[in-house]
Chain A
Amino acid sequence: MNLVEGIFVKPFQDMFGAPDFLIQVLWEGLVAGVLYALIALGFVLIYKSSRIFNFAQGIMVVFAALTLVGLYEKGVPALLALPLTLVVMFLLAVAIERVVLRPLVNQPDIILFMATIGITLFLIGFGEIIFGGENKVMITEQLFIPTGSFTFEPFGGFVSIEQKDLTAVIGAVLLVAGLILFLNKSKMGRAIRALGDDHQAALSVGISLSTIWVLVWFIAGVIALATGIVWGARAGVSFALEVIAFKALPVLMLGGLESVPGAIIGGLAIGILEKLFEIYWGQPLLGGNTETWFAFVFALIVLLFRPQGLFGEKIIERV
């Protein structure tokens, strides 16, 4: 009886008993969710335009953050290090297209997937050689990201919102809005969507695969850099960051591999739900630390009922 009450009654009593704490939990979940969404977006873009499941997305986050901090440590001013890092990510995209994608075009998907594992290993080694393997601190202040926190008191309680989290959320929203605008309104964006729909036809109308691939990998690199800055500001920059990319997997299952809105909504949903579950069910009933597995179990349950994911692209079929 106690268990039933613990599952169905008490959590909700807690939530409505302390709404200020609930708001705090939801906010924390939202911030984590924004990051999951960003990483998932990187996966989706690359998958849509080249049918490659990019295992290297996680390490690209680390590599971007590491390059930024590493350049700063080598004496480059922070505001110059940022555009320089973008240049590095662009060169990386060009190199990947030339060395990895172009020779492997038309190979089975699994081979390209293996190639991205190769890219992962290369980036780990390369990053370590150039910038060293020890943990680094993100140059938050130098990039003029505010570090204080707002507090306010709804319902007579107390909620604290860190300014860097707020900056991260606003930055992510702007980035995503810009990306959606780019995909829907620009010539290149249209070409990316066309390539996602029909590879052969895209080739036949003269869409250049190499151009699009470089572009898409560069966008994924930019997203990785944004993710790296935000995550690095919260947890420091280390190769351990790579594992957050795996958090994107349940997001992708949930959102569907090809859907941009799916990645965003899926990311936010997972971020918020796992926080809520951890605080109101995990800690009292299961001894905590549920965040490591909740997303996967949740995705698994969703997949049982919707194998194409919640927002998987509808296959248009005429009869």
Chain B
Amino acid sequence: MNGTEPAIAPATPILSVNNIEVIYDHVILVLKGVSLTVPQGGITALLGANGAGKTTTLKAISNLLHAERGEVTKGSIVFEGNEVQALSPNDLVRRGCIQVMEGRHCFGHLTVEDNLMTGAFTRRDGKAAIRADLDLVYEYFPRLKVRHSSQAGYTSGGEQQMTAIGRALMSRPKMILLDEPSMGLAPQLVEEIFEIVKKLNEEQGVSFLLAEQNTNVALRFAKYGYILESGRIVLDGEASALRENEDVKEFYLGVAGEGRKSFKDVKHYKRRKRWLA
């Protein structure tokens, strides 16, 4: 796209999705051949509007699609060198790939601490190690420590998002599929959450695939980005390059190049968009 070819991709990516197609209920074609890779230790953003297929892509990777009567009909998903389409979500979590779902999905009647502890379900390495990781999660999210005995259903949206990320961390993941962490949160809180994601990435070496509508924030924290539109990747590149891309600026960042637009430009916009798709 923009001169700088992906220089970041190391020899083996932790995750590569190759041309997958997803069909819901045997009839609804949602993904029409999506390919992407996440490098070892990278933060990769998956951007796009509502209904573009971001969540479906993530759920196809984590194998949660089956619970919604969706299935991957073509292509392959490779995590750490092994094809993983046939694994159960449980197996995948055990191998180190876990999803934080859109809308937090905390266990409302469980306390924050119990929520975190459910994340350790697949672990077999003993209570002491789990306890140590719980303390680590509290270190990253001090607010959860304060709230550890409240029912998660009664905590704030930000706290629930932190609980959901913390819960995923408790499984000792190598990679987190993070779906729309900014949803419904105040800008300041979004910033805070993304800072923590960055810290986790740098200090714990967790790779992230990040689905976001908030293109602006996502491209500031991610290293590489893919833009998804109606089930297809229409654009990809390094985050810095994408931020400078005229189309991305116009369609996703809401920065207009040349002042007010006339109706003529709108038509032009649509034509360009169609061409991209």
Interface residues of A (CB under 8 A from B): 105-106, 187, 190-191, 193-194, 196-208, 313, 316, 318
Contacts and interface: CB of A to CB of B under 8 A. Distances in A.
10 interchain residue pairs of minimum CB distance:
A206-B93, A316-B153, A201-B105, A197-B107, A206-B122, A208-B90, A316-B108, A194-B107, A194-B118, A206-B90
B88 interface: yes
Interface size on B, as a range, is 35 or more
Contacts of A202: 107, 118
B69 to A, nearest CB: 6
A246 B83 CA distance: 49
B96 to A, nearest CB: 10
B94 interface: yes
Most chain B CB within a 10 A radius of its CB, from A187, A193, A204: A204
A49 to B, nearest CB: 13
Contacts of B66: 106
A54 B153 CA distance: 28
B64 A193 contact: no
A47 to B, nearest CB: 15
A291 to B, nearest CB: 35
Given A187-B121, A205-B121, A200 B64 contact: yes
B251 interface: no
With most chain B CB atoms within 10 A of its CB, the pick from A190, A200, A205 is: A205
Contacts of A316: 108-109, 151, 153-154
A200 B67 CA distance: 8
A260 B75 CA distance: 46
A202 B117 CA distance: 12
Contacts of B67: 105-106, 199-200, 203
A213 to B, nearest CB: 13
B151 A194 contact: no
Interface string B79-117: 000000000111011100011110001111110001101
Contacts of B108: 197-198, 316
A81 to B, nearest CB: 35
Interface of B: 62, 64, 66-69, 88-90, 92-94, 98-101, 105-110, 114-115, 117-122, 151, 153-154, 157, 167-168, 171
Contacts of B64: 200, 203-204
Contact of B110 (A106, A197, A207): A197
Given A106-B69, A187-B117, A204 B101 contact: yes
A80 to B, nearest CB: 33
Given A190-B114, A194-B107, A201-B107, A208 B88 contact: yes
Contacts of B68: 106
B101 A201 contact: yes
A197 B94 CA distance: 22
B105 A206 contact: no
B110 A194 contact: yes
A204 B105 contact: yes
A191 B105 contact: no
Nearest to B122: A206
Given A207-B90, A316-B153, A191 B121 contact: yes
Nearest to A258: B109
A51 B117 CA distance: 23
A198 B105 contact: yes
Given A106-B66, A205-B121, 12 more contacts: A106-B68, A187-B121, A197-B108, A198-B105, A200-B64, A205-B98, A206-B89, A206-B90, A206-B92, A206-B121, A316-B151, A318-B154
A205 B171 contact: yes
B171 A197 contact: no
Contact of B105 (A105, A200, A207, A313): A200
9 contacts: A187-B117, A190-B110, A190-B118, A191-B118, A196-B109, A201-B101, A205-B93, A207-B118, A318-B157
* A187, A194, A201, A313 interface centre (most CB from chain B within 10 Å): A201
B106 A201 contact: yes
A313 B153 CA distance: 13
A119 B37 CA distance: 47
Contacts of A198: 105-108
A313 B109 contact: yes
B65 to A, nearest CB: 11
A101 to B, nearest CB: 14
Contact of B121 (A106, A197, A200, A207): A207
A198 B98 CA distance: 16
Contacts of B122: 206
Contacts of B88: 208
Contacts of B151: 316
Scoring B105, B120, B154 by chain A CB atoms within 10 A of each residue's CB, the highest score goes to: B105
Nearest to B120: A187
A313 B107 CA distance: 13
- Which among B66, B69, B110, B157 has the greatest number of chain A C-beta atoms within 10 A? B110
A299 to B, nearest CB: 24
Contacts of A203: 64, 67, 89-90
Contact of A197 (B69, B101, B109): B109
A193 B89 CA distance: 19
A318 B150 CA distance: 14
A200 B122 CA distance: 16
Contacts of B106: 198, 201
A316 B98 CA distance: 26
